[in-house]
Structures are given as C-alpha cells and as structure tokens.
Structure 1
Amino acid sequence: MSKKPGGTAADERAARLKAALKANLGRRKGQAKARASADEGVAPEGSPQSDVDSGAGEG
C-alpha cells in the first residue's frame, strides 16, 4: 500500500476508530456473556418455566 501525502491523518483516525470499535465489541461480548450466565437456569417467579418445573397447572 502506498501512502498519499496528507493521508496520514485519515489513516491515524481510521486506526483509532478501529481500535475503539474492537474494544467496544469486546466489552459488549463480555457483558452479554455475563448476562447469559447470570440468567442461565434462573426463572422468574410465575414464569412458564417455573410452573412446569414445580408441576403447577397439571390437572
């Protein structure tokens, strides 16, 4: 790749944006993973999953 004169500012900006996006994606993936592991196996009171597990509603 050949660099154009005056194009270094745009290249630096693109590199900063790329790094920021990568960091943001990593942060969001970590949050999603933490949320998923916290929700795993935990059903709120009165949800269909907890009704099925407790046997409620069978008649």
Structure 2
Amino acid sequence: MSDTPTPKTPAKPGAKQPRTGSSAGQGREDRLKAALKANMARRKAQSKARQADPGDKPGGA
C-alpha cells in the first residue's frame, strides 16, 4: 500500500454525485425539520403581532 492518495476523476458538469446510505436522507430530514421550525416560529410571531395591534384591520381608517 502506498501513502499517496489516488487522484479523483473530475465529475461531469451537471452530474449528480452518488449519495450513500441514509446519511443523505437524514441530512435532508434535518434541514426540513429546521426550516419547518423556523417557519412555525415566524408564523407564531406574526400572529402575536396581529393580535397585539387591532388598529391595523383592513377597511379601517
């Protein structure tokens, strides 16, 4: 065995890299979970802001 790393062949432009095992799926799930959590927090903050300011109703002033 030699200690020198073998050069990797360059991938074709636009070609997708193969993903192995469930690590790829797990990473996607983690990203989706984080995005959902951020979205829910944003919606909750918007809802609270709307309830705190009843003077901003459409058709008012």
Task: Decide: shared fold, TM above 0.5.
Answer: yes
The 2-side partners of 1:33 and 1:10 are apart by 36
Structure 1 segment 39-54 matched on structure 2, within 5 A? 39-42=50-53, 43-44=55-56, 47-48=58-59, 50=60
Q: What CA RMSD, in Å, does the superposition of the two structures yield over aligned residues? A: 2.4
Q: Which runs of 5+ in 1 are unaligned?
A: 1-7, 52-59
Q: Report how many aligned residue pairs link the two structures.
A: 42
**Aligned-residue offset at 1:37:** 0.2
Identity %: 17
Normalization by structure 2: what TM-score?
0.55
1:12 match? 23
User: Is residue 2:25 matched to residue 1:25?
Assistant: no
Normalization by structure 1: what TM-score?
0.57
Higher share of residues assigned helix: 1
The 2-side partners of 1:10 and 1:36 are apart by 40
4+ residue runs over 2 A deviation: none
Q: Which runs of 5+ in 2 are unaligned?
A: 1-18
